[in-house]
């Protein structure tokens, strides 16, 4: 998915509702649906209380939904508006009324991850039924915090954002992805396709040149010191739990549990926070950096790919600044030394240079080496046989 191309089509006139994305072509019995929300975060000078300005992020979510999704998930939510007129928000969290959808009312706007209608026509029809003011009743929400809103001083914006259409070819759909294949085979009502994030704009020229750095720092908020002024972003300070709930419950995506999610982002956060605070790469930093590189391919999935976007941007930043380099044999990262291409015994305790040279030598002379090796192996096996030795 070319996010920059798609982002150019997005026009947000109501920050309280997500942008709705539609696709005219169906995939089997599924409709492609998507949403975009906008979040503003503060950017600070490193190790300083001085605020440089704000960066405005856009989070993109793409799913496949079928008619069963509307029947099982959306209709019960609409019916609570029409028939029950329940005056408490907590009714929406009752598993008997609404077993899947987790309604996000604050950090991520109304109904991020909730897809009213499979087509734009269905969406407009169903949104005409929903009264957003109805959701703004003072109430103590689950978790112990209060959601209060004075509708006279702070009225709800009920205008729908202009919808965006995408082509089927815009979607990088991997039809061989086991998760997608199994989900379609089991006729799941909603299937997660992708989640991504980009910087749409910044409010200060002073931070324009820092854009490559900005997106790599959000993970710092998952480090135990995320409340420190050293962190330049408040994005994940408020969004991580809501975002996980949106993906886990609303998208019914359970290939990553919350513990794994938090562990990954905490490690990435440690790297982002440490670099932000000290601008120094030590052995512990490299150890975490390399362990994450190895872990990313274990149970790899679309949500894990989103988490590692922060890691990838930090890597790009450190390579750009010539702080690290990557071994051309094993792929691990090490402190930058001009001209150094491989891990060494002295600093990384492994000689990847020798292994790389051996590999190149074998590749260049395998036509000679391989027949001799096979001949030697056959002779050795025959000798074992003659001596009655079992190998």
Q: Do residue 109 and residue 250 come from a single domain?
A: no
- Show the 3-state SS of the chain: CCHHHHHCCCCCCCCCCCEEEEECCCECCEEEEEEEEEEEEEEECCCCCCEEEEEEEEEEEEEEECHHHHHHHHHHHHHHHHHHCCCCHHHHHCCCCCCCCCCCCCCCCCCCCCCCCCCHHHHHHHHCCCCHHHHCCCEECCCCCEECCCCCCCCCCCCCCCCEEECHHHCCCCCCCHHHHHHHHCCCCEEEEEEEEEEEEECCHHHHHHHHHHCCCHHHHHCCCCCCCCCCCCHHHHCHHHHHHHHHHHCCCCCCCHHHHHHHHHHHHHHHHHHHHHCCCCHHHHHHHHHHHHHCCCCCCHHHHHHHHHHHHHHHHHHHCCCEEECCCCCCEEECCCCCCCCCCCCCCCCHHHHHHHHHHHHHHHHHHHHHHHHHHHHHHHHHHHHCCCC
In a domain, 226, yes or no: yes
Q: Do residue 191 and residue 270 come from a single domain?
A: no
Q: Which two tokens stand for residue 66?
A: 């079928």
In a domain, 175, yes or no: yes
Q: Residue written as tokens 């909730």?
A: 114
Q: Lowest mean pLDDT of 115-119, 208-212, 292-296, name the range.
A: 208-212
Q: Do residue 182 and residue 304 come from a single domain?
A: no
For residues 52 and 108, the model is more confident at 52
Segment 215-263, tens digit of pLDDT: 444 544 444 333 343 343 443 445 677 788 888 888 889 899 888 888 8
For residues 58 and 334, the model is more confident at 334
Q: Do residue 81 and residue 198 come from a single domain?
A: yes
pLDDT at position 239, please?
A: 62
The residues near 356 (Cβ < 8 Å, ≥ 6 apart) are 328, 329, 342
Q: Do residue 179 and residue 77 come from a single domain?
A: yes
pLDDT at position 5, please?
A: 85
pLDDT at position 278, please?
A: 80
Q: Residue written as tokens 């001083």?
A: 153
Contact call for residues 304 and 313 (beta carbons, < 8 A): no
For residues 377 and 291, the model is more confident at 291
In a domain, 128, yes or no: yes
- Rounded Cα distance, 10 and 161, in Å: 9
Q: Do residue 287 and residue 200 come from a single domain?
A: no
Domain around 91: 1-215
Q: Do residue 274 and residue 207 come from a single domain?
A: no
pLDDT at position 221, please?
A: 46
- The packing angle between helices 302-320 and 258-278, to 10°, is 10
Domains held by the chain: number: 2
Segment 40-51, tens digit of pLDDT: 776 666 556 677
- Rounded Cα distance, 112 and 105, in Å: 9
CA 296 vs CA 133, 164, 268, 304: distances in Å:
43, 32, 12, 8
- Rounded Cα distance, 64 and 12, in Å: 23
* Dihedral sign from CA coordinates of 62, 63, 65, 70: negative
* Dihedral sign from CA coordinates of 359, 364, 367, 373: negative
Q: Inform me whether the pLDDT recorded for 385 exceeds 90.
A: no
In a domain, 372, yes or no: no
Last residue of a domain, one of 186, 215, 244: 215
In a domain, 6, yes or no: yes
- Rounded Cα distance, 75 and 122, in Å: 12
**140 dihedral zone (left: phi>0; alpha: psi -120 to 50; beta):** beta
Q: Do residue 76 and residue 129 come from a single domain?
A: yes
Q: Inform me whether the pLDDT recorded for 325 exceeds 70.
A: yes
In a domain, 366, yes or no: no
Q: Which two tokens stand for residue 59?
A: 């989070």
Q: Lowest mean pLDDT of 4-18, 75-89, 175-189, 276-290, name the range.
A: 75-89
Last residue of a domain, one of 215, 244, 263: 215
User: Please, what's the b/e burial string for 199-224 (b: 16 or more CB within 10 A of its CB; e: otherwise)?
Assistant: ebebeeeebeebeebbbbbbbbbbbe
pTM of the model: 0.76
Q: Do residue 242 and residue 263 come from a single domain?
A: yes
In a domain, 365, yes or no: no
For residues 25 and 363, the model is more confident at 25
Q: Do residue 35 and residue 151 come from a single domain?
A: yes
Last residue of a domain, one of 215, 231, 257: 215
In a domain, 389, yes or no: no
- Rounded Cα distance, 15 and 102, in Å: 19
Q: Do residue 211 and residue 221 come from a single domain?
A: no
Residue 362 binned pLDDT confidence (cut-offs 50, 70, 90): low
Q: Do residue 186 and residue 202 come from a single domain?
A: yes
């Amino acid at each position: 998915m070319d996010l920059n191309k798609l982002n150019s089509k997005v026009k947000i006139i109501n920050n309280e509702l997500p942008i709705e994305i539609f696709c005219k072509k169906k995939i089997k019995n599924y409709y492609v649906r998507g949403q975009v929300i906008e979040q503003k975060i503060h950017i600070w000078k490193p190790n300083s209380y001085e605020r440089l300005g704000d960066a405005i992020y856009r989070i993109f979510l793409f799913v496949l939904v079928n008619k069963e999704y509307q029947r099982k998930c959306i209709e019960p939510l609409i019916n609570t508006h029409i028939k029950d007129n329940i005056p408490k928000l907590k009714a929406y969290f009752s598993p008997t009324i609404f077993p899947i959808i987790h309604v996000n009312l604050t950090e991520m706007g109304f109904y991020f991850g909730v897809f009213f209608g499979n087509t734009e026509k269905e969406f407009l029809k169903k949104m005409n039924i929903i009264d957003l003011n109805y959701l703004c009743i003072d109430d103590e929400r689950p978790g112990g915090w209060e959601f209060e809103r004075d509708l006279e001083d702070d009225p709800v914006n009920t205008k729908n954002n202009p919808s965006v259409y995408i082509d089927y070819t815009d979607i990088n759909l991997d039809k061989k992805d086991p998760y997608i294949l199994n989900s379609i085979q089991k006729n799941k009502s909603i299937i997660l396709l992708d989640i991504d994030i980009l910087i749409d704009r910044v409010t200060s020229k002073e931070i324009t040149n820092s854009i490559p750095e900005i997106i790599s720092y959000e993970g710092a908020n998952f480090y135990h010191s995320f409340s420190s002024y050293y962190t330049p972003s408040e994005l994940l300070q408020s969004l991580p739990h809501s975002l996980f709930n949106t993906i886990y419950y609303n998208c019914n995506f359970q290939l990553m549990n919350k513990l794994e999610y938090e562990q990954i982002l905490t490690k990435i956060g440690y790297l982002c926070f440490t670099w932000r605070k000290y601008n120094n790469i030590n052995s512990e930093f490299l150890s975490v950096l390399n362990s994450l590189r190895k872990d990313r391919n274990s149970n790899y999935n679309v949500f894990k790919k989103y988490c590692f976007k922060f890691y990838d941007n930090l890597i790009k930043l450190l390579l750009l600044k010539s702080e690290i380099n990557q071994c051309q044999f094993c792929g691990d990262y090490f402190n930058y030394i001009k001209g150094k291409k491989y891990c060494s015994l002295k600093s990384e305790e492994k000689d990847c240079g020798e292994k790389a040279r051996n590999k190149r030598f074998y590749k260049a002379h395998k036509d000679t080496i391989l027949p001799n090796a096979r001949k030697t192996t056959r002779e050795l096996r025959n000798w074992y046989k003659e001596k009655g030795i079992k190998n």
